[in-house]
């Protein structure tokens, strides 16, 4: 019996809200790109386990893809604590150099009351361990996908933050009996 798990990691649709904000879990998704949803939907395996983070935008994206996804908090976006809901520009103006210093080494730094990207990787590792063998579609966040890539490629956390993960993109990774295989990262067929 194979223990292989085939992962279809989808970043949620764009946030339906202002740009430049650290959005919280209640931010809605912009579900208006019917062509992107249709192109993505045909790439997904039938009868796969579907999982999403508890965030509104991931649940809405999953539903629009026709998935009945179960929430798994291990796949949440990084918690930015007191900065959640705030604009980057406002935080820069208010905190000055302290805010800029955070972004010089964001993988290990924690925002006030939040968690680091390293913490998110640990959460994602626990979430991956809970997935059964077979096909699994995860509708999650860019940070979650970067965390899974860090795990699969054994990357330093700062290096994993270099990946671009666009809204409604697909990243394909397989967890094999003896390691990992990265099939595709940040694929967008409708462009």
Q: How confident is the model at residue 165 (pLDDT cuts 50, 70, 90)?
A: very high
Q: What is the pLDDT of residue 189?
A: 75
Note the pLDDT tens digit of each residue in 64-111: 999 999 999 999 999 999 999 999 999 999 999 999 999 999 999 999
- pLDDT score at 177: 86
Residue 174 contacts residue 7 (beta carbons within 8 Å) = yes
> Using an 8 Å Cβ cutoff, are 51 and 75 in contact?
yes
125 to 33, 78, 97, 142, 148: CA distances (angstroms): 31, 14, 33, 15, 7
Structure tokens at 19: 């740009």
C-alpha 82/C-alpha 75 separation (Å) is 20
Task: Convert the pLDDT of each residue in 109-143 to its tens digit.
Answer: 999 999 999 999 999 999 999 999 999 999 999 99
> CB pairs under 8 A, 24+ apart, for 27-32?
27/55, 27/56, 27/57, 28/56, 28/57, 28/60, 29/56, 29/57, 29/58, 29/60, 29/61, 29/64, 31/60, 31/61, 31/64
Cα–Cα distances in Å, from 144 out to 2, 10, 107?
26, 10, 13
State residue 56's pLDDT score: 98
DSSP 96: T
Residues in the chain: 191
Q: How confident is the model at residue 3 (pLDDT cuts 50, 70, 90)?
A: confident
Cα torsion through 152, 38, 55, 94, rounded to 10: 90
Question: Does 176 have pLDDT greater than 70?
Answer: yes
Residue 144 has pLDDT above 60, yes or no: yes
Question: CA 87, CA 41: separation in Å to the nearest integer?
Answer: 33
Q: How confident is the model at residue 159 (pLDDT cuts 50, 70, 90)?
A: very high
Pick the CATH number of 5-187 from 3.20.20.60, 3.40.50.2300, 3.40.50.1240, 3.40.50.300: 3.40.50.1240
Predicted model pTM: 0.95
In this predicted model, what pLDDT tens digit does every residue of 11-63 receive, in sequence order? 999 999 999 999 999 999 999 999 999 999 999 999 999 999 999 999 999 99
For residue 186, give the DSSP letter: E
Q: State the average pLDDT over residues 164-168.
A: 97
Question: Among 3, 5, 11, which Cα is nearest to 185's?
Answer: 11
Q: Is the pLDDT of residue 191 over 80?
A: no
């Amino acid at each position: 019996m194979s223990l292989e798990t085939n992962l279809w990691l989808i970043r949620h649709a764009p946030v339906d809200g202002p740009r430049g904000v650290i959005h919280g879990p209640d931010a809605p998704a912009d579900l208006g790109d019917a062509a992107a949803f249709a192109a993505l939907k045909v790439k997904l395996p039938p009868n796969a386990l579907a999982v999403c983070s508890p965030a509104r935008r991931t649940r809405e994206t999953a539903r629009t893809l026709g998935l009945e996804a179960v929430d798994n908090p291990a796949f949440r976006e990084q918690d930015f604590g007191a900065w959640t809901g705030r604009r980057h520009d406002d935080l820069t103006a208010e905190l000055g150099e302290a805010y800029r210093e955070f972004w010089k080494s964001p993988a290990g730094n924690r925002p006030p009351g939040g968690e680091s990207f390293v913490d998110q990787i640990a959460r994602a590792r626990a979430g991956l361990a809970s997935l059964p063998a077979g096909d699994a579609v995860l509708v999650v966040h860019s940070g979650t996908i970067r965390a899974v890539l860090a795990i699969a490629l054994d990357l330093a956390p700062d290096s994993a933050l270099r990946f671009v993960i666009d809204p409604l993109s697909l990243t394909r990774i397989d967890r094999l009996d003896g390691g990992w295989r990265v099939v595709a990262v940040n694929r967008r067929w409708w462009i």
